[in-house]
Amino acid sequence: MSTTWTDAVVVARYDATPRIAVFDLARADGGELWEYESGAHIDVQVGEAGLVRQYSLCGPPGVREQYRLAVLNEPASRGGSQAMHTLAEGDTLRIGAPRNRFGLTPARHHLLLAGGIGITPLLSMAQTLDATGGDYHLHYCARSRTDAAFVPELEHHPRATLHFDDQEPEQLLDLGRDLGEPAPDTAAYVCGPGGFMDYALGRAAELGWPASALHTERFSASTAATETGGGGEGGFTVRLSSTGAEYLVPEDQSVLDVLLANGVEAPSSCGQGICGECVVRVRVGEPDHRDDVLTDDERAEGLFTPCSSRSRSPILELEL
């Protein structure tokens, strides 16, 4: 399904840290925004170039008058965060309806592990669990107190522990202690920069956590996905099941690039295999999965991300 857009206005903006700005957005026409559940993100179209980027919603999910975003200004990014940081109160932009592949799952206990700007979706989860009486603990890691957003809201919270790299070693995140071995009916959620994600997930695997109990969201493609890349070792043919049309996918283009260039209506958003908007089903062929959004079960069911993944077989037929 294609993204549904609406015009929004920045009704408030403040700097939570020297590099993190918090924005409150409302519909430009004064109407209510879409409902969403914690863990959701939205597409934001910003800047003269109309860049489309994804940002997690970090406000209480029940509030439909405004959405809250927190955006890290990352000079090495693709330009979206820098464009966001030029916005001031009263400026307008376009936002898309929320999507969510990182929501809370049914569990007795929830462990929330946030690194840096990865606090954004987990803060919303904590707010939901506070409101519903859910059992959880939030661990929030940052380089220093001045680099951490939402410290006033969290530093005295009984279910939150803050970990700062520049403080005493004993208060640093210790996953052997803070995550521990897997327990029945316990779910863990991990979000943050790539290095934090790789460390936390690797340590969780060492502690015996099954993949089914670990829920993740990345803000950029993982190192493994980047190394295999959006290109590939040779081209292949993609076929559409609805029409039988076939298109050659060269090694320097993605399936999505080729579909869009040939006028095929294919949903898309992040272009990195991290949001799930472009997911389709494979009818014939062997996919070469290079995304960071599908679970092993979803891949086994034939789901596929045309923006980042490729094919191990000469022909890949998609349900399009």
Least confident of 17-26, 174-183, 283-292: 283-292
For 143-158, what is each residue's pLDDT tens digit? 999 999 999 999 999 9
> How far apart are the C-alpha atoms of 296 and 195, rounded to whole Å?
22
Average pLDDT over residues 25-46: 96
For 200-252, what is each residue's pLDDT tens digit? 999 999 999 999 999 999 876 665 554 444 444 579 999 999 999 999 999 99
How many structural domains does the chain have? 3
> How far apart are the C-alpha atoms of 76 and 219, rounded to whole Å?
13
pLDDT at 233: 59
Q: In this structure, what DSSP letter does residue 59 have?
A: S
Order of strands, sheet of 186-192, starting from the edge strand that comes earlier in the sequence:
160-164, 135-142, 109-115, 186-192, 214-218
Residue 270, domain member (yes or no): yes
- Whether 235 and 214 map to the same domain: the answer is no
Last residue of a domain, one of 173, 188, 218: 218
pTM over 0.85? The answer is no
- Whether 202 and 247 map to the same domain: the answer is no
- Whether 15 and 35 map to the same domain: the answer is yes
- Whether 202 and 256 map to the same domain: the answer is no
> Which structural domain, as residue segments, surrounds residue 305?
227-318
- Whether 28 and 80 map to the same domain: the answer is yes
- Whether 114 and 80 map to the same domain: the answer is no
Last residue of a domain, one of 96, 122, 146: 96
- Whether 119 and 79 map to the same domain: the answer is no
**SS3 of residue 21 by DSSP:** strand
Last residue of a domain, one of 96, 118, 146: 96
Here the CATH number for the domain that contains residue 145 is: 3.40.50.80
Q: Which residues contact 287 (CB under 8 A, 6 or more apart)?
A: 299, 304, 309, 310, 311, 312, 316
